[in-house]
Amino acid sequence: MIVYFFIIAFTCLLFLLAEKSYVRSKVLFVLFSFIALVVPSLFAAMRNISVGVDVMVYEYDCFYAAKRCSSFIDYCEQSELEFVFKTINWIAASVSDHISAAFFLIEFLFLSMGYAAACRMRNYSPIWMSMLIFMLCYYNLSFNLMRQMIAMAYLAIAFTYLYKDNRTGLFFLLLILAMFFHKTATMAGLFFWAIILIYNKKKAVRKTLAVAYGLGCLIIAVIFKTILSWVALLGGRFADYVIYGGDGGGDHFKPTLLTILILGDFMLLFLIAIAKYNNISDHKTLFVLLLLVVTDIMAQFLGLYTGFATRMSCYFCMPYMFLLPNVFSSDVMSLQTKFVMRVLLCVAFIIIWLRMVGMTGNTIPYKSEILGI
C-alpha cells in the first residue's frame, strides 16, 4: 500500500512543479506534466496480471484476442466490449507482445483526461490539489475498473465544459465519447446536466427545483430499494446479476467514498465552509456540490443493495476534485484559513484513501515481476 501512496505523492509533486512553471516556461510545464503522467502509467504497466480483478475478467482476453486476429474487423467480431476500448487494445497489441503495453495506454489515457480537466478548472482549484484528490480516489480503482475509469475521466472533461462554459452541445458530445468506454457514463452525465440546468434557472425557481431534486432522489432511492428487495427474494441468476453485478456475491460492494466523506472525516469542515455563505443558492460551486452530495447519498444508499449503484457513485464523486478545493479556498477566507483548509482537505482525502483501499482487495497488494516486488 505504501508504494501506491509514494507514486501518488511523487506524481502530484510533479504536477505542482508543472503548475508553478506554467507562467514562466511552457517548456517546463510540458516536461513536468509529461513526466507526471508517464511515471504512474509505467507503474501501472509493470504490474502483474493478478493486480486488478477485471484484468482477468476482460482485459487479458481482449488484448490477446487482438494478438490472435489477423484483422481489426475479425477482432471486433470476437469481442463484445466497447469499440474505443477494443481499439486501444488493438493498438497496444500492434506494437507489443506483452499486455503491459495495453496497461500503459489505458492508464496514460485515464490520467491525461483527468489532468486535462484539472487544467481547464485551474481558476477554480489548484491543479496539483485537483489531481491529488483525483488520484487518491481513482488511481487504485483504475487498475481494476479500467473501462469505467476512462469513461469517468472523459466525463470529467465534459463536466468542465458544462460547469465552466455552459456548452451543453460539447458536453453531450464528450458524454457520447465516454459511453464508448463504459455505458454507465450515460446516467451520470444526465444527472450532471440536470444539476447545472437547475442552477441556470432564476433564483426563485432554482430553489424550488433544488428541493424537488432532493425529494426526487429520495423517492428514487426508496422505489429502487423496494424493487431490488423483490428481485433478491426471487433469487437465481437474474437476482445475482442485478444485485451483485454478475460477480456472484456482494461482499466487496460496501459504501465507500461518500459514506466516509459525509458521515466521518470532514463533515465539520464542510459545515464551516457552508457557514461562510449567506445564501447557498447564489454560490454556484456550493449549490452544485450540495446537489451532487444528495445524488451520491442516493447512490450509496442503493449501493447497500446493488453493486451497480456503488459503481455509479464513482461518477458522482468525480467533480469533488474541482469543487471541494474551490469551496475550501474561497475569497471570503483569509490566507491562513485557506492554508489550514487545504491541509485538512488533503489529510481528509488521505484518510479516505487509506480506508477505501483497506475495504477493497481488488488492487492491493502491488506485485510486479519486472520490478521484483
- Mean per-residue pLDDT, 149-162: 93
User: Band of the pLDDT at 257, cuts 50, 70, 90?
Assistant: very low
Q: What is the model's pLDDT at position 210?
A: 84
Closest of 59, 107, 114 to residue 314, by C-alpha: 114
Q: What is the model's pLDDT at position 228?
A: 59
Q: Where are the domains of the chain?
A: 2-359
Taking the alpha carbons at both ends of the chain, their separation in whole angstroms is: 12
Q: What is the model's pLDDT at position 225?
A: 66
User: Band of the pLDDT at 259, cuts 50, 70, 90?
Assistant: very low
Q: What is the model's pLDDT at position 151?
A: 92
Alpha-carbon distance 215 to 228, whole Å? Answer: 20
pLDDT at 40 over 90: yes
The string over 331-357, giving b where at least 16 C-beta atoms fall within 10 Å of a residue's C-beta and e elsewhere, is eebeeeeeeebbebbbebbbebbeebb
pLDDT at 192 over 90: yes
* Burial of 358: CB neighbours in 10 Å, binned 0-12, 13-18, 19+: exposed
Q: Which amino acid makes up residue 311?
A: R
pLDDT at 234 over 70: no
Task: Tell me the per-residue pLDDT of 205-232, one tens digit each, with 9 for 90 and over.
Answer: 888 888 888 888 878 777 776 665 655 5
pLDDT at 89 over 50: yes
List the single range of 199-208, 269-278, 284-293 with lowest mean pLDDT: 269-278
Using the 8-state DSSP alphabet, how is residue 282 labeled? G
Question: Cell 484528490 identifies what position?
Answer: 133
User: Band of the pLDDT at 162, cuts 50, 70, 90?
Assistant: very high
List the single range of 37-41, 48-52, 132-136 with lowest mean pLDDT: 48-52
User: Band of the pLDDT at 364, cuts 50, 70, 90?
Assistant: low
- Mean per-residue pLDDT, 139-162: 91
Q: What is the model's pLDDT at position 330?
A: 62
pLDDT at 150 over 70: yes
Q: What is the model's pLDDT at position 276?
A: 52
Q: Which tops the pLDDT comparison, 78 or 95?
A: 95
Question: Cell 463536466 identifies what position?
Answer: 159
Q: Percent of the chain scored above 70 by pLDDT?
A: 79
Rounded to 5°, the CA angle 168-174-175 comes to: 85
pTM of the model: 0.83
> What is the torsional sign of CA 219, 220, 222, 226?
positive
Closest of 66, 261, 284, 48 to residue 164, by C-alpha: 284
Which uninterrupted H or E stretch holds 7?
Answer: helix 2-20
pLDDT at 94 over 50: yes
Q: Which tops the pLDDT comparison, 14 or 203?
A: 14
Using the 8-state DSSP alphabet, how is residue 254 labeled? -
Rounded to 5°, the CA angle 291-292-293 comes to: 90
Task: Tell me the per-residue pLDDT of 299-344, one tens digit each, with 9 for 90 and over.
Answer: 777 766 666 676 777 888 888 888 888 877 666 667 777 788 788 8
User: Band of the pLDDT at 81, cuts 50, 70, 90?
Assistant: confident
